[in-house]
Structure formats: C-alpha cells, structure tokens
C-alpha cells in the first residue's frame, strides 16, 4: 500500500511540476530539478519503509519467542506443549524473515521503477 502511494505521489509531483507556470518559462531545467527531487524522495521513502518492515519483523520475532517462553514457563520443562510453542516461535521467525525480505525486495523494485520512469521523462525532455 505504501509503495503504491509512493509511486502515485512521485508521478503526481513530476506531472504537476512539469506543467506549472514556472515550468512553462523554462521547462527543461525545472523538470530536471524536479526529477532529481522525486528520485531523492523515492530513495528516502524506500529506506524508511524498509526500516519499518525490518522493525516490524523484529518485533514479531521477539513477541513469538516471548510467548513461547511464557508457555514453556507455565508448563513442565520439556513438555510437549512447551516444545510445540518453541517450534511455532521458530516457524514464525522464519516466516517473518521471508516476508520481510520479500517486502523489502518489492520496495526496492518499486523504487527502481520510479527512478527509471523519472529518468525516461528527463531524457525525453532533455533531447
């Protein structure tokens, strides 16, 4: 959701800045400056979003292990329920890592698409 919003915002910024009154006076330099701003913003937002994804995955893993420890403490040491809770915590950690990696890759891919689109627009108006 955040990635889609980032793309729409980036394209809107490029679209509006390319057709504003200032841009009509000198379209190429204004558009190129705006394109650089869009790319910088895309990189910044992607970094923040990836940090958020990483923090969320870490929190999820921490909570899973905390809950498994509580179950283990509440039951006899080495009980089947305690072992299952530990296995579940390990499975949750694995899935959180996989999901975080997939999400971060999608963020990078989207950022790259935005940057390529901005570069293509800049190249079109530069030539």
Distance CA 9, CA 1 (A): 12
Q: What is the pLDDT of residues 21-61, one digit of tens each?
A: 554 555 555 555 577 787 888 888 888 888 899 899 999 88
Domain that holds residue 106: 2-126
Measured from the Cβ of residue 29, the count of other Cβ atoms closer than 10 Å reads 11
pLDDT in tens, 94-118: 999 999 999 999 999 988 888 888 8
Contact 107, 3 (CB under 8 A): yes
How many separate domains does the chain show? 1
């Amino acid at each position: 959701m955040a990635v889609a919003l980032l793309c729409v915002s980036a394209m809107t910024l490029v679209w509006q800045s390319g057709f504003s009154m200032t841009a009509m006076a000198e379209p190429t330099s204004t558009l190129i400056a705006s394109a650089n701003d869009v790319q910088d913003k895309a990189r910044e937002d992607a970094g923040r979003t990836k940090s958020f994804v990483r923090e969320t995955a870490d929190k999820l893993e921490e909570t899973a292990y905390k809950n498994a420890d509580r179950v283990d403490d509440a039951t006899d040491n080495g009980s089947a329920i305690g072992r299952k809770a530990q296995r579940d915590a390990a499975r949750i950690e694995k899935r959180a890592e996989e999901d975080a990696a997939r999400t971060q890759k999608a963020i990078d891919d989207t950022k790259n698409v935005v940057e390529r689109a901005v570069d293509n627009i800049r190249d079109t108006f530069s030539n």
